[in-house]
Structure 1
Amino acid sequence: MGIIERIKEIEAEMARTQKNKATEYHLGQLKAKIAKLRTQLLEPPKGSSGAGDGFEVTKYGHGRVALIGFPSVGKSTLLTMLTGTHSEAASYEFTTLTCIPGIIHYNDTKIQLLDLPGIIEGASEGRGRGRQVIAVAKSSDIVLMVLDASRSEGHRQILTRELEAVGLRLNKRPPQIYFKKKKTGGISFNRTLPLTHVDEKLCYQILHEYKIHNAEMQWWMILSMLLRGIAST
């Protein structure tokens, strides 16, 4: 059974499982298995040296921005206008077949802009060149979604779903979690706020799924929230 089939099998099991206090740990384990399998989808095939021809772009400058979108929505035109780098644009789909980098110069700052091939529905499962495109996007500091205003809102929803399926959370603050593997000492937890979506037992189960038996985890309150709370007292 392939990775995609295993993911669909687990998703079907989750759909059959009622959500309640008694099943939350089982559902958490299933989610961890899906996350692990989706990560494997993004790994280069065995015998491959990397992300793929044309996708090995060295990071440059003070930040990296990846242009993500369906084919023929204007990513190449935007790259050319902002950076002066030529990226072939045409009236047919899949004009860009590799990763094209350009540099935006703003005052003393250099921002690397990447024109990536258009992705299609199912990219998170490896369709098209989705694996390579999403792998590059995950290495970027910002993911900029490029949409065709003349098309339906459904395109944005599809792109959001494909990116979130592999752990890219758009327009969301990163969780305030510190995680570090250790060689010995077991699993240690430390937090400065109540946990509302997970507890230590579920964390143990997820770490066990990844065969991690020695690690340190910390949760802390966002500093700005803490300061606002102090100021209001």
Structure 2
Amino acid sequence: MGIVEKFLEEMARSEHSRSATEYHLGLLKAKLARYRAQLLEPASKSGPAGTGFDVQKSGDARVALIGFPSVGKSTLLSKVTHTQSETAAYEFTTLTAIPGVIEYKGARIQLLDLPGIVEGASQGRGRGRQVVSTAKTADLILIMMDATKSDEHRRLLEVELDAVGIRLNKSKPDVVFKRRTTGGFNTTVKLTKTDERTIRLILASYKLHNCDIMIREDITTDEFIDVLIGTRKYMPCLYVYNKVDAISLEQLDKISREPHSVVISCEMDLNIDYLIDRIWDELALVKIYTKKRGAHPDLSDPICLRKGATIENVCNGIHRSLAANFRYALVWGKSSKFSPHAQKVSLSHQVQDEDVVSIFTK
């Protein structure tokens, strides 16, 4: 029996149950998520189903460019990275991942032009699985769309990414889940979108009878299932609307006001610089300058790290053996408690943008 047939059979059984509809829905969602995981990650690991494109990750961050065919992805790549990606008036010009590098504020950001995906990509249509597997390795997703087309394209792309476990512009639910020989259920907030009975039924459907669960926010049933599965990726996303020179000012104003949206025209070079600024902001990179003893800080070659990075990350960014021989560091800048003077810190100290760091070893 196939995955779809299994799910349909479960639905048929639920029609004859006397329990409340919300509990049915929770159980069906849990079973659908489990069957979908079996479909996307088969038990046999010998096949290439889950492999992405063979593009080595480089630079300080990776951005994946996703969209339907002929929306201008290759043109954008050529504009912002000086990398030539084949463009033409017909669809499916790009057949593999084309990498380019955006050099901005001392950082090197890898931009991947992925082949155009089609509806059903998450089930393997076209090169859909390779595209979404590669997208999961990115730090930011750019969903590029034709502003002259309907919003249905955006919805379809969101559905395809959601089906493979990519959650766009969402934070990970504040839920602690651990398997135990014994366990309990605790919540620090009132649950209004689901309830304890539904959660316990879902746990039973996954054969999880003993575990510790601490829920710290008002989550939905879908979010709890995501926590159980544990393979979901929560990623920032920018919706890039191209060809805005071909729409009315009213449409342009409406689109530009939508959350996480940027309007551009690759053909007329409109708003490209603003898009790069937004990419930088979404990646939340911090630049750290290094300083040798008795010398001025090196402002020409900063180390770019993700927001929340520590002195240990700085050490690893310089040389992987540096942390093992670490004694202490001196930090000047926003993260120093004695700014503008230096603070003596340990490996766990969190750095901030444009800090100056001097490392001392044993």
Normalised TM-score (structure 2):
0.51
Contact 1:68 1:145 in 2 (8 A): yes
Q: How far apart in 2 are the matches of 1:91 and 1:109?
A: 33
Matched, 1:198 2:197: no
Letter in 2 for 1:128: G
**SS state at 2:112 partner:** strand
- C-alpha offsets along residues 38-86 of structure 1, whole Å, 9 cap, x if unaligned? 233333775225634x614343344332211101111122122222233
1:185 to 1:129, Cα distance in 2 relative to 1, 3 A: same
Matched, 1:29 2:32: no
Match of 1:131 in 2: 129
Greater share of residues in strand? 2
Contact 1:67 1:145 in 2 (8 A): yes
* Structure 1 residue 10, shift from structure 2 partner: 6.4
Contact 1:41 1:131 in 2 (8 A): no
Task: Specify the structure having the higher radius of gyration (Cα).
Answer: 2
Identity %, equivalent residues: 55
Alpha-carbon RMSD: 3.2
- C-alpha offsets along residues 141-168 of structure 1, whole Å, 9 cap, x if unaligned? 3221100122222211221222233333
Q: Which structure would you say has the larger RCO, counting Cα contacts within 8 Å and 6 or more residues apart?
A: 1
Q: How far apart in 2 are the matches of 1:90 and 1:11?
A: 47
- C-alpha offsets along residues 202-232 of structure 1, whole Å, 9 cap, x if unaligned? 333333444445544333359xxxxxxxxxx
The alignment of Structure 1 onto Structure 2 pairs a total of residues equal to 216
Contact 1:72 1:118 in 2 (8 A): yes
Match of 2:312 in 1: none
**SS state at 2:194 partner:** coil
- C-alpha offsets along residues 154-204 of structure 1, whole Å, 9 cap, x if unaligned? 21122122223333333344433334x44x334444433222222333333
- Which residue, out of 127, 140, 146, partners 1:142? 140
The correspondence of residues 52-63 of structure 1 with structure 2, limited to 5 A, is 52=51, 55-63=53-61
- C-alpha offsets along residues 91-127 of structure 1, whole Å, 9 cap, x if unaligned? 2211222222333222233323221111111222322
Unaligned runs of 5+ in 2: 219-362
Match of 1:86 in 2: 84
With 207-216 and 26-35 compared, the bigger mean Cα shift is at 207-216
The correspondence of residues 157-196 of structure 1 with structure 2, limited to 5 A, is 157-179=155-177, 181-182=178-179, 184-196=180-192
Letter in 1 for 2:106: D
With 34-43 and 117-126 compared, the bigger mean Cα shift is at 34-43
Contact 2:189 2:215 in 1 (8 A): yes
Match of 1:226 in 2: none
1:161 to 1:49, Cα distance in 2 relative to 1, 3 A: closer
Match of 1:51 in 2: 50
With 118-127 and 134-143 compared, the bigger mean Cα shift is at 134-143
Q: How far apart in 2 are the matches of 1:11 and 1:95?
A: 42
Match of 1:73 in 2: 71
Match of 2:215 in 1: 219
Match of 1:154 in 2: 152
Match of 2:3 in 1: 3
* Structure 1 residue 21, shift from structure 2 partner: 7.4
Match of 1:121 in 2: 119
Contact 1:35 1:166 in 2 (8 A): no
**SS state at 1:68 partner:** strand
Contact 2:175 2:217 in 1 (8 A): no
Match of 1:228 in 2: none
Unaligned runs of 5+ in 1: 223-233
